[in-house]
Structure 1
Amino acid sequence: MTTTISRKALSSFSTFSSAFGQDQTSFSAFIQQPFDSVEDLTAQAKRKHPVYSSASRKIVTDTIARQLEHQLSVSQLSNLDLLREETTMTITTGHQLTLFGGPLFLLYKVLHVVKLARSFNESQTEFKAVPVFWLASEDHDFEEIQSAQLFNKNLRWESEQKGPVGRFHMENYDLVLDELKAFFTTKEACELLELVKDLPDTNYAIHYQQLMNRLFADFGVLVLQPDDHALKQLFIPVLQREITEKPSFKAVQVTNEQLQKAGWSPQAQARACNLFLLDATGRHRIDPSANGFTIDGKAYSKEELLQLTEQQPELFSPNVILRPVYQETILPNLAYIGGGGEMAYWIQLKGVFEAHDVLFPLIQQRNSLLLVDGATAKRIEKTGWELSRFFEPKEQLRKAYLLEHDADQLNMEAIQAQFQSLRLSMITKAKEIDASLESFAEAETVRMSKQLEVYEQRLLKQVKQQHEQALKAIDGVCDRFLPGNVLQERALHWLNFAPSGDYSSLLTAIEAVIDPFQSDLIVVELKN
């Protein structure tokens, strides 16, 4: 059973997320075109197909085949063969490398792309589309992704390594992997244990690529690792233009001014040069200087960097401004699917794409889902409330429940009024006897006021005990829906909804309810 709740009714979604998801028309100046039907993909295919070369297609398909040699499922092999055809395009999502797949929304992103590609293929016969998952393996924010909260335990990969997470060696990773396996060792033929069995340990990008490849094997998803020499060769013209002309900074500045005039705050800031240089010690900013460039204090001439782009393009890494340009340069892509935060910076980039002569894709906000497992459904039933009620802060809900069920017992207004009358009488009486007693009387009434607070709290505690089961149910639902006042899809690791370790039914249930053109929160009652 599924229902929807409007994003606008939920404070957990930003104003931008609600507006962009509901109607892209007001953002027309910042995007290729509003994307509100599957037919828009056909229009984009007619734009992209003539400007995407056969040579690029061969490099991309050969790279996927090389990266995932002997690891592709039947449906993935079929999609790779399709992608070799000139009329096959891609629909893409991407994400940084996480621990064992990360939050629930990662599943939503990927399965959204799967569903959208299928809808496109069923809607017309001129083109085909295959789903692609782009690994942001050059991201260097390890602290953001090094831990996972599973079954009330924090799993954490401890490492002192720096630089792109995809290039991390696997030191200490076996320790956190063993912790994960320990949750499922009592299960026979557990899918999760098979998922993580014998994964390569060359580096984290290769390990994670094969993990995601296995996880989405049945859906035909092609998982691409872009930190690759062959792929970076396709990016050389953009690298060289960024070094020689530096057009991205100005393009973003112009767009940011337009966004601010339209009432939106820019998500990302461009730099004078939006590239990093990768080496064994990390990912280093390339900063323009009076005589060329500096990288960690070391001087480089423009000619030296240009020569390096020709010889070793894999040493260059785009930042958040140019990463989408890299993606759209190498893929025959029609649309990028991402979260609200991603959409907020994508709308800053159309001018950057134009400056680098790369076609801007359609963009779409991914579905947002709320999963309701059996235990949570029972807790909701225990409170007697509708599900939509549980998007308020926990303490506010607890108070509301008590007031609904014991308002008379908790109503202290009459007692407070009597106390205020008594307080005034005490102070007046003291002043009548001797004016110097006024401060004494006020101090006594303050002490009495504090005692009254203790009295009120004791009564409240007793009422709470009488409703302990219902209040525990409220706590349980809130911790499942808005843990730490963060949306479930962002706060909870997906494996929390596959406690047996068998995840296929979870993926199937999610894929069944994904609706690429649904902008509201989709509430899914799981059968378990």
Structure 2
Amino acid sequence: MYLYASNRTTFMPTETLTFRETGYFSSLICDYLDQKEELNSFYNRFPKLENFKDQILEKSKSYPLEHRDVLASVLEKQYAGLEISETTSNHIELLRSEETYTITTGHQLNLFTGPLYFLYKIMSVVNLSKKLKETYPKQNFIPVFWMASEDHDFEEISFFNFRGQKVHWNKEASGGVGRLNTQGLDEVYSVFAAQLGGSFKAKKVKDLFQKAYLQHDNLATATRYLANELFKDYGLVIIDADDSNLKRLFLPQIKNELLKKSTFKAVNETNQELESLGYKVQVNPREINLFYLNKGLRERIIQEGDRFKVNNTSIQWTEEALLEDLQAHPECFSPNVLMRPLYQEVILPNLCYIGGGGEMAYWFQLKESFKVQDVTFPILLLRDSVLVRTEKQKEKQKALEISNRDLFLEKNAFINKYVRRISNINIDFQPQEDFLKQQFADLYQLAEQTDKSFIGAVKAQEVKQLKGLKHLEKRLLKAQKKVLADKIERSTSLKDALFPNGNLQERNLNFSELFLEHGQELLSHLSDHLDPLDMRFLLLTI
């Protein structure tokens, strides 16, 4: 049985921009979406529906059948005691079938989900799984959320933004964050709850936070509860890969990394290729890309001579002793950012990874390291990005005659362009600048033909006059800003509301702010309108 929460029939207005038009995404990501030929060697297949046929075939040949029972059994154990939907329960059982594949996204264990795009990542895997089922009905496609429970950067996840302020969890922490106890979050709850008010939707938000963080012992189980509550009706399966049985499936790749240092060589070669094309690499590899994880400890494994050591500790092994420890305690060996994707693809029957721009950037560094380890490289898909605005905000934007593309401009550029457009005086001095440059081009030619020593004087005069023209333009623009102050204030207040702190809404707001206004309908709207294979930035009015 294969179930999904049914979509409602809605007609909410949506508009799109290309990711390049927004100005918020790197040239690497934009070039990938444009399918630039020079990037072909850095990925397996482009995310088109028809390309999943060959991806299914390739994965079916490389994913061991015995991994399926281990995976399903671990998930059943992790979900024990948690109230889950029939859909999620069915999906876990379906993972035992050879005709079942996963679509995966992942995220850090940010407090109370962290940025808003947490929702968009997960709804992207949900909607792609649904679309694949419609296209390939003989197979099953399960949306999976990978919790980054082995991450150790507590500072990155210890807060979320709410109404322009940070809600912060003050705690001393070390080791994998998933194992952190939730002590102290009752104080965070008290501060947060006081800001929420007493509406029905506010009570729902309070209930979510309280049950997730005050009734669970560690951050991994708290995050699983929260994600399950939000997405259980969509059949989401949440996995915590910090598990000895799952790590045991990864033993051959860990051994290869320890003894052959395969990631280091493969990724360095790929990095050189990316840099030669003008792209900035996201991550540089270590000689050994593994951590040792144990009781508040997550430190790099290094090799010095014939000894292997845990950095900043007294723990060390001979090669033989290290392999014995690996066999006995695989849960103590933790992949870093460059090996985590490999671990994911070894333990999951996965076809596609959906992530943000930063994640995609380091995935492009990894194809050769997957080849060396003989692991199928997944299809890579940029997650959905959304700007949510209210009907009132959309009407205000229309009344002020602000285009969608202009909304995404940097603030000063936005104001200057807006003033130029609404002013009854032509403040664009570009025609005069072009005319002046042409006049000086003629003077350069005259100097060349008569006395070349005058070229320097001509250049100095050109710089002076162009600078003067720019100064006049700025003065006129400043004067018009005073005249048009009311309209500028109204336009910038709209932009500030939609781009908090000058950044994309999805990278700053926590879901709770929109949930307070729209409730559970927020997820329904996302379910109805997110189309991950459309690969454009969505402006959603609700």
Q: Distance in 2 between matches of 1:262 and 1:388?
A: 28
Contact 1:336 1:363 in 2 (8 A): yes
Q: 1:297, CA displacement in angstroms?
A: 4.9
Q: 1:258, CA displacement in angstroms?
A: 2.1
**1:192 maps to which residue?**
205
Q: Distance in 2 between matches of 1:386 and 1:138?
A: 43
Q: Could you state the TM-score of these two structures normalised by the residue count of structure 1?
A: 0.85
Give identity over the alignment, percent. Answer: 32
Q: Distance in 2 between matches of 1:55 and 1:179?
A: 48
Deviations 1:454-495 (A, max 9, x none): xx99x968x767655433322222223333332222122222
Q: What is the one-letter code of the residue matched to 2:539?
A: V
RMSD, aligned α-carbons: 2.5
**SS where residue 134 of structure 1 aligns?**
strand
Q: Distance in 1 between matches of 2:117 and 2:100?
A: 27
**1:388 maps to which residue?**
405
Q: Could you state the TM-score of these two structures normalised by the residue count of structure 2?
A: 0.83
Q: 1:382, CA displacement in angstroms?
A: 4.2
1:223 aligned onto 2:234: no
Contact 2:205 2:512 in 1 (8 A): no
1:64 aligned onto 2:69: no
**2:30 maps to which residue?**
18
2:179 paired residue among 167, 175, 178? 167
Q: What is the one-letter code of the residue matched to 2:69?
A: K
Q: What is the one-letter code of the residue matched to 2:290?
A: L
Contact 2:293 2:333 in 1 (8 A): yes
Contact 1:113 1:131 in 2 (8 A): yes
1:52 aligned onto 2:63: yes
**2:521 maps to which residue?**
505
Deviations 1:212-270 (A, max 9, x none): 11111111100101111221111111111111111111111121122223332221111
Q: Choose 318-327 or 105-114, whichever is displaced more.
A: 105-114
Contact 1:22 1:519 in 2 (8 A): no
Q: 1:56, CA displacement in angstroms?
A: 1.1
Q: Distance in 1 between matches of 2:423 and 2:139?
A: 63
Q: 1:301, CA displacement in angstroms?
A: 1.6
Q: Distance in 2 between matches of 1:286 and 1:385?
A: 54
Q: Distance in 1 between matches of 2:31 and 2:371?
A: 25
Q: What is the one-letter code of the residue matched to 1:64?
A: L
1:30 aligned onto 2:42: yes
Q: Distance in 1 between matches of 2:478 and 2:121?
A: 45
**SS where residue 72 of structure 2 aligns?**
helix
Contact 1:397 1:474 in 2 (8 A): no
Q: Distance in 2 between matches of 1:18 and 1:311?
A: 45
1:376 paired residue among 389, 393, 406? 393
**1:137 maps to which residue?**
149
Q: Distance in 2 between matches of 1:225 and 1:297?
A: 27
Q: Distance in 2 between matches of 1:153 and 1:265?
A: 32
Point out where structure 1 has 5 or more consecutive residues left out of the alignment. 412-452
Deviations 1:111-130 (A, max 9, x none): 11111111111112332111
Deviations 1:366-410 (A, max 9, x none): 122221123422432342322322122223333444454556599
1:480 aligned onto 2:504: no
1:9 aligned onto 2:21: yes
**SS where residue 94 of structure 1 aligns?**
strand
Contact 1:256 1:348 in 2 (8 A): yes
**1:40 maps to which residue?**
51
Contact 2:255 2:323 in 1 (8 A): yes
Q: What is the one-letter code of the residue matched to 2:343?
A: Y
Q: What is the one-letter code of the residue matched to 2:67?
A: S
1:523 aligned onto 2:534: no
**SS where residue 334 of structure 1 aligns?**
strand
Q: 1:132, CA displacement in angstroms?
A: 0.3
Deviations 1:160-195 (A, max 9, x none): 112221111112212212333334451236432343
Q: What is the one-letter code of the residue matched to 1:331?
A: L
**SS where residue 100 of structure 1 aligns?**
helix
**1:437 maps to which residue?**
none
Q: Distance in 1 between matches of 2:34 and 2:246?
A: 35
Contact 2:163 2:513 in 1 (8 A): yes
Aligned in 2, Cα 1:130/1:405: closer, same or farther, shift over 3 Å? closer
**2:253 maps to which residue?**
238
**SS where residue 331 of structure 2 aligns?**
helix
| Structure 1 residues 270-309: aligned runs within 5 Å | 270-295=285-310, 296-298=312-314, 299-309=316-326
1:344 paired residue among 345, 361, 365? 361
Aligned in 2, Cα 1:222/1:25: closer, same or farther, shift over 3 Å? farther
Q: What is the one-letter code of the residue matched to 2:106?
A: G
Q: Distance in 2 between matches of 1:226 and 1:155?
A: 28
**SS where residue 279 of structure 2 aligns?**
coil
Q: 1:13, CA displacement in angstroms?
A: 1.5
Aligned in 2, Cα 1:410/1:4: closer, same or farther, shift over 3 Å? closer
**2:167 maps to which residue?**
155
Q: What is the one-letter code of the residue matched to 1:139?
A: D
**1:202 maps to which residue?**
217
Contact 1:115 1:511 in 2 (8 A): yes
Q: Distance in 2 between matches of 1:342 and 1:24?
A: 19
Q: Choose 141-150 or 383-392, whichever is displaced more.
A: 383-392
Q: Distance in 2 between matches of 1:460 and 1:228?
A: 62
**SS where residue 106 of structure 1 aligns?**
helix
Q: Distance in 1 between matches of 2:320 and 2:503?
A: 48
Q: Choose 511-520 or 324-333, whichever is displaced more.
A: 511-520
